[in-house]
Structure 1
Amino acid sequence: MPPTPARHPGRRARCPPAPSQAGKFSVPGAAALSSNVSDMVLSSLLPPNLPRLAQPHHAPGRARELTSQKETLGLNVMSNNFRRFLTKVGPIVWLQDRVEEVLFWQKPLWTWAWMALWAFICFFPRILLLLPSAIVLVIYLTVQEKKEPLPSLFGVLIPSAPDPGTERVGGDDASASYTASTVEGKEGAPQAPPGDATSTTDILMNMQAIQNLMGVIADVFEAATPWLNYIAGKDTSPTSFPISPTLIILLLLPPTLVLPLTPGWAIPWLLLPAGWAGPLLFHPNLTQLIENLPRSRAALEARAELEDRVLTDALPDELGRRPIARVEVWENERLDPVVSAKPTAAAQLPAGAYSSRFLRPGERGGWVKVRTASGTYSHEHIWEDEEDRPDHGDRMALALKDRWAFVPGEDWRVDVCGLWSDVGTDPDGWVYTDDSWSNTATVSKVDNPVGTPGGGASAPATGAAATRRPTRRRRWWRRVYYDDGT
């Protein structure tokens, strides 16, 4: 029978006991709070009584575990360096904001300017030789402009007034304030590269930027991990594409051999998409289209065809010449009535909320053979008619008729393409339905249960039970071959 995906129950994280505080607690003032904010953050993140890193004997010619050890790990050193980092990270935060404005079309004029500049650089790469001088010149003009206004062409000093739409926050003293936008929805956004942060507002703004940057880095790594697993050959889940390291090497071999032989006139055209890919990928009108492209009908059909070809290519020659077909089974599950009755607005359901244990008596079983046609061979000519349903569980004997056998080395896989469904499937191959196994949808949550397709006609208009589709199903498939005795 197809393997049921492993469900890992949630584990309670054991929190370290809070250190006992001697003496009477007093409310700190504003100055003390601003100076010790990094200590408070580190104290809440790190456990008490941090152990010291072991100092093993460093053998000659052998790298240490951490080659950048300058000082031992300690809360005092970390707190002090973090406080210094908060005061110096302002220019990096400013540069990050400018990159996001260009990348996410927050300032379309700057985005178009970047795309035009990148196209100019691709066809005239010698302009990059001016980049170091241009950076030094911009820094010099910025520093000089802060000291005194630049004279105009007519020798008249320009008054040092803020730009329209901006104002000085924190007072007139440039060392204790920063320039911020007054445009609606952009209050507090820095418009000029700040120097060392000395005010509480600047420090908190830098801390917020660091907090958001940590989340972005974590999101990027989480999104890239599945693709890295493909390269490492570790992703063997039943919903993943059956790719092998050998296939990746074969795919990378043509560009590795062709790119060094590419003529010089074609290189700018190859570099042009590299600078345009980011803005086009995050364009407001293209983001939704790009997200839905992998689940489009044409993309799913191409994946199903390519998946079958990859599996066939990995077979031995004597087995690949035999007739090969697919057998399929349904996996049916129902939502836990206890979970369905609880008033909750959470988007994520607890592990095991859907299970075949909650199927009603007389309802379809947890595993049901698909007996429709499958390509050239019908399932009726492959499945054995005998079925075994022992008392200790709802199982079927997945027996094949004579001369049919499962392809060795292949296991049951989830039909994530879902070409059998009119509405598609979710990334795990599930299609959600109402209480009568109709009104299909690709999500469990019901946005508007009254009078909408997929909402469930039998679901009540109000109450927590109307927020979830209680049933779901998906297909598993496995390949079989016909042994004609030759």
Structure 2
Amino acid sequence: MDDFGTDVFVNRDDPIPTVILDGSTPRRPRTPSPSAELSDAETPSNRRKGLRGRFSALKEKARIQDQLVEKLLAQVVPLDDAQIPEDEPAQKGGSPGVARPNFNLTTMSNNFRRFNARIGVVFVFQARVIRILSWRQPTHTLSFLAIYTLVCLDPYLLPLLPLTILLIGVLVPSFVARHPAAEFSLSSEQAIGYSPHGPPLAPAITVKPVKELSRDFFRNMRDLQNSMEDFSQLHDGVITLVVPRTNFSDDALSSALFVSLFAACLFMSIAANVLPWRLIFLTLGWAVTCMGHPAVQRQIQTAHEKHIHPQEEKARGLVEKWVERDVILDSAPETREVEIFELQRLSGAGEWEPWLFSASPYDPLSAGRIAGDRPVGTRFFEDVLPPQGWEWSEKKWALDLWSREWVEERIITGVEVETEGERWVYDIYDEQAVEKVGVIELPAPGKGKEKDKALPPKPSWEEGEDGDGRRGEWRRRRWVRLVKRKNIPETST
């Protein structure tokens, strides 16, 4: 450890982990025989060259393996920048316009080594927090509680806390390390205390990363491994506790939780300004810190086994009864009315041909009609599907007998409306009739095949003798049907 110095931030209190690469028991070092003599081929210089060559060969082999794995990943993962849309950043999480490197095994390995060599300061801080909360040194814990109490009683001291930590925790130790106390024997009369006078006697403290493949490097790797496991367990615990109660897989329980949180929000919005927040935070801080004491933990564990655990089932039963009794859910699915328009086109023979079923009435002033687009839809009634997430609530479609209403709701002009019969809405091309009348109500058409026939169009309106009975190229009528929300059953994962 003398090679790394005392100015490297690492966690030095735990034993050094044993690293076994092949999974077998580590071999004991062989003791060389005193009678054995080194031959010319086994001189120290040749041994260095051999080790150096083997190390170079291993590095070359690892580089080739990385290239092969990168090529395999390139076939599975889209690593090319050309596959990223132009309106999105180069990488998720990166700022727009800032180029970020793609995934690369070599870059990943280098960044991990750099990160692991510098993460020791975080583990040092974590170890010191654990020491304080676990009462390993009661004087440190009591000092922390004293500072916490002062901040809770006088919150205006909170901005002073980071400045004090920087002053006492960083600058003072750095000055003492730069100006160490003089060494005197215990019997010397000059040992009267620390004196800061005089020039610096020691080099300044610097923070530098640990060396790779050193003991501190493997300590950081071990702590990083354990931290990842702790995060995974915490994540899984939170997901198991929170998600089933908040994702409405159980509608009654999630609804009860929603009502409780809503009531809590109302209470906090009214009473937040009168609550003694200083006393609350002071009590919580002392309670959490005291719970870390070994004696208190033993008492809590005993009380939980004897008193709390037997009452958990009873409390859970009371909550379930309250949910079943007070939380009333409407089990009937939501229903809505959907529409479809049956379009027919006038053929050259003067007969109406079924064209398609469309979601738009394709009126003369619609955007698609003006743009010259053809209507979009399906040819057959059976091919009309309900909206996504819905299912049919009725077996058949029903003809809308109030054609005039849906025409007026959409402010459609230039059409003729049948108020009886099959409720067709026809196009008209007489511009004067459209400007003067807008919507014209027609009597019921005659019986037989004549009701579906219209007079053949003339070359133009100007050449015709009269515009009576002339209709446009399209006619439509509206069909309606009820749909309901589709009940999606839960899938067990």
TM-score interval, smaller chain: 0.3 to 0.5
TM-score under structure 1 normalisation?
Answer: 0.43
Structure holding more helix per residue: 2
TM-score under structure 2 normalisation?
Answer: 0.42
